[in-house]
Amino acid sequence: MKFIRILVLILCAGFVSVAWTQQPTCRVYTPWAEFHRTNMERWNPCEKVLNVHNVGNLGLKWSYVIGPHPVGSSPAVANGVVYFGSDDNSVYALNAQTGALLWSYTTGNEVNSSPAVANGVLYVGSDDAKLYALNARTGAMVWTYATGSHVYSSPAVANGAVYFSCSTTSCTRLNAKTGAKLWSYTTGSYLTSSPAVANGAVYFGSFDNNVYALKASTGALLWRYATGRPVLSSSPAVANGVVYVGSDDDHVYALNAKTGAKLWSYTTGSYLRSSPAVANGVVYIGSDDDHVYALNAKTGAKLWSYTTGNIVDSSPAVANGVVYVGSEDGNVYALNAKTGAKLWSYTAEAFVASSPAVANGVVYVGGGFVVYAFGLK
């Protein structure tokens, strides 16, 4: 009876710990507020509208054309607004339902960084060597931080701090309200991998062939793991005490989050610049060998792979049994998360390097010079 009472209390609290992951409290409106989401797994466990049975009925809801400037930034969705950056040096905010422009903010150079939205503030990096904090509702500047070099990485926001990497070789932690620097850690080589923050640690990859783990509060080195080649744009995903990341040595790695010890690795046919998604005991990742892979999260065994027509640098997004991913063959794909079977695809204007966001029955992604929103017909 005591066990039953405890179980009832857990259920009433809004979540149940099942198998590999803890289910969060799901509200009516579920955001996708930053590149990896707050759980660092590129997984939306609250999506209830789209599923394997109806995703084949996706149709274009709206599209927003930037012009002759590519969109490599991945969308963030929060409070009914879609945010993204563009190579036209601007950050955009669009109405999530209609695609109407709400505001845009011009930086001094291209914006390849993907925005993060927290507590009414949008954080994003620019190639003008600044990190920006903008009012998410109006686009007004709250503060800027001069980094000294391009910011390709996407910020992570946790516990009142903003973490980001810049190509000056430093991973930096700022006060989210003021932009004041709290600490900076230098690897000695370029950084374009976006940091993940989980359980008091910050994880990121470096051009010096290493994956790093730092203490989030101080920036002190906890461990580093040497891969065979650089870890470029693949950004770690952290789930159930394991760090998953891809490397230019053609391997996907699973590392112990506390110690950095290798648990397993899986070899693909080329570079891995896609960032992993982790859901229900499976790791999903794209490779420059034109494939999307699904690997057993515990063992690294291949469950399935899907062949696209070109390299897959886009990072998968997982929601309600479906994997969404873009390819440089110009298509956005929806795949069955269990089998890898194609459920739906859409041919965009050009290559799709942006990574999808899935929220409230809508898929948002950049392709070529356009941002797309797909919903059920």
List, as one string, the DSSP characters of 95-152: ETTT--EEEEEE-SS---SPPEEETTEEEEEETTTEEEEEETTT--EEEEEE-SS---
pLDDT at residue 219 in the model? 96
d(CA 171, CA 129): 14
Rg of the chain, C-alpha, whole Å: 19
Sort strands 331-336 and 322-326 into parallel, antiparallel or unpaired: antiparallel
pLDDT at residue 192 in the model? 87
Calculate mean pLDDT across residues 186-212: 92
pLDDT at residue 40 in the model? 83
Tokens, residue 71: 């969109």
d(CA 57, CA 74): 23
pLDDT at 7 over 50: no
Task: Please give the residue that has the higher pLDDT: either 72 or 28.
Answer: 72
d(CA 204, CA 295): 21
pLDDT at 1 over 80: no
Q: Is the dihedral of CA 153, 299, 356, 274 positive or negative?
A: positive
Burial grade of 301 (CB within 10 A; 0-12, 13-18, 19 or more): exposed
pLDDT at residue 67 in the model? 79
pLDDT at 19 over 70: no
For residue 332, report the phi and psi dihedrals to the nearest 5 degrees: -105, 135
pLDDT at residue 13 in the model? 36
- Tens digit of pLDDT for each residue in 50-65? 999 999 999 999 999 9
pLDDT at residue 69 in the model? 82
d(CA 249, CA 272): 8
Domain ranges for the chain: 30-376
pLDDT at residue 166 in the model? 78
Topology given in CATH for the domain delimited by 30-376: Methylamine Dehydrogenase; Chain H (2.130.10)
- Quickly list DSSP for 138-188: T--EEEEEE-SS---SPPEEETTEEEEEETTTEEEEEETTT--EEEEEE-S
pLDDT at residue 28 in the model? 67
pLDDT at residue 6 in the model? 34
Calculate mean pLDDT across residues 163-192: 90
181-190, 218-227, 341-350: least confident range: 181-190
Angle at 47 between CA 45 and CA 49, to 5 degrees: 155
Indicate the SS3 state at residue 288.
Answer: coil
pLDDT at 279 over 90: yes
pLDDT band at 24 (very low <50, low <70, confident <90, very high): low
Tokens, residue 15: 């979540």
- Tens digit of pLDDT for each residue in 232-277? 899 999 999 999 999 999 999 999 999 999 999 999 999 999 999 9
Calculate mean pLDDT across residues 106-132: 96
Token pair 């991998």 is found at 193
Question: pTM of the full predicted structure?
Answer: 0.92
d(CA 162, CA 173): 6
For the chain, the average pLDDT equals 91
Task: Please give the residue that has the higher pLDDT: either 349 or 297.
Answer: 297
pLDDT at residue 341 in the model? 98
pLDDT at residue 12 in the model? 35
Amino acid type, 263: L
Within its chain, how far is the Cα of 21 from the centroid? 18
Calculate mean pLDDT across residues 123-141: 96
d(CA 61, CA 340): 25
pLDDT over 90 for what percent of the chain?
Answer: 82
d(CA 367, CA 344): 16
Burial grade of 194 (CB within 10 A; 0-12, 13-18, 19 or more): buried
pLDDT at residue 102 in the model? 98
